[in-house]
Amino acid sequence: MLFDLDGTLIDSVYQHVLGWHEALLDFGVDLPVWRIHRRIGMSGGLFVAALARETTLEIDESAAVVLGAGHAAAFERLRDSIRPLPGAERLLGVLTAMGVPWAIATSGNRRSAEPALDLLGVPDAVLVTRDEVRHAKPDPDLFLAAAARLGADPGQCLVVGDSVWDLLAARRAGSLGIGLLSGGYGQEELERAGAYRVYEDPADLLDHLDEVGLRPAR
C-alpha cells in the first residue's frame, strides 16, 4: 500500500495552500486560494508551470526559488496546527501487524516530510520524496520508486491519496487508486480521476479494508 502524505496521513493541506497564497501575494501574484488548493500535491515544477499559464506571468528558475522559500516560511508559521488525520497511526499499525508492506511517496521534499513521519510515530517508514525522482505527480515516478523499494509489483499495489494528482499518478503506475476526502477535494472529483473507492479519511479506510481486498499475509 503506497500512501501520499499531505492530506492523506497528516492534516496539512490547508496550511500548505495558505502558505503558497502568501508567498504568491508577496511575489505580486493574486491567485485565488481555491485554485492553489486544486494544484496542491502536484509537482512543484508543474505547479509553477500551471501558474505561469494561468496568470500569464514569467516565472524563471530564480523566481521559483524565491516562491519556494516564501512558501516554506509562511508554512512554518502555520506548522503548529498540523495533526495526524484520524486513524492514520492506527491504519499504519494495522497494516504492519497484518504483514502488508507499505510506503509513503510525497511530492514534497525530504526536509519537510521527515517531521511528518515523527508526527505519525513512524520515523523509520519507507519514504520516497521529490528529490529522489525525476518527475513528481501526476507522473508515476514516486509511486513506482516506492513500489520498487518494497520489492512490490506496482500492478499489485494500492495507492492512497487525497488529490486528483495522486489518482492520475496511480493510474499511470498501473495501481488501483483509493481516494480520501480529507484533503478537501469533493468525492466526484476523485471518482472522475479514477478512484476505485473513496473514503473520508484513514479511519474510514481502516473500517473498510475488506472492500479493497486486504487480508492478513500468511
Interface positions with its own copies (CB under 8 A): 11, 13-15, 17-18, 21-22, 25, 30, 32-34, 37, 78, 81, 83, 85-86, 181-189, 201
Q: Which is nearer to its own copies, 15 or 112 (CB)?
A: 15
Q: Is 124 one of the catalytic residues?
A: no
Distance CA 130, CA 137 (A): 9
Catalytic residue among 4, 139, 141, 162: 4
Least distance CB 82 / its own copies (angstroms): 9
Q: Which is nearer to its own copies, 68 or 184 (CB)?
A: 184
Q: Which is nearer to its own copies, 45 or 86 (CB)?
A: 86
Least distance CB 22 / its own copies (angstroms): 6
Q: Which is nearer to its own copies, 48 or 190 (CB)?
A: 190
| 195 and 207 Cβ atoms separated by less than 8 Å | no
Least distance CB 196 / its own copies (angstroms): 18
Least distance CB 192 / its own copies (angstroms): 8
Q: Which is nearer to its own copies, 132 or 191 (CB)?
A: 191
Q: Is 4 one of the catalytic residues?
A: yes
Crossing angle (nearest 10°) for helices 13-26 and 61-78:
130
| 14 and 84 Cβ atoms separated by less than 8 Å | no
Q: Which residue has the cell 499475509?
A: 217
Residues, the chain:
218
Least distance CB 187 / its own copies (angstroms): 8
Catalytic positions, written as ranges: 4, 6
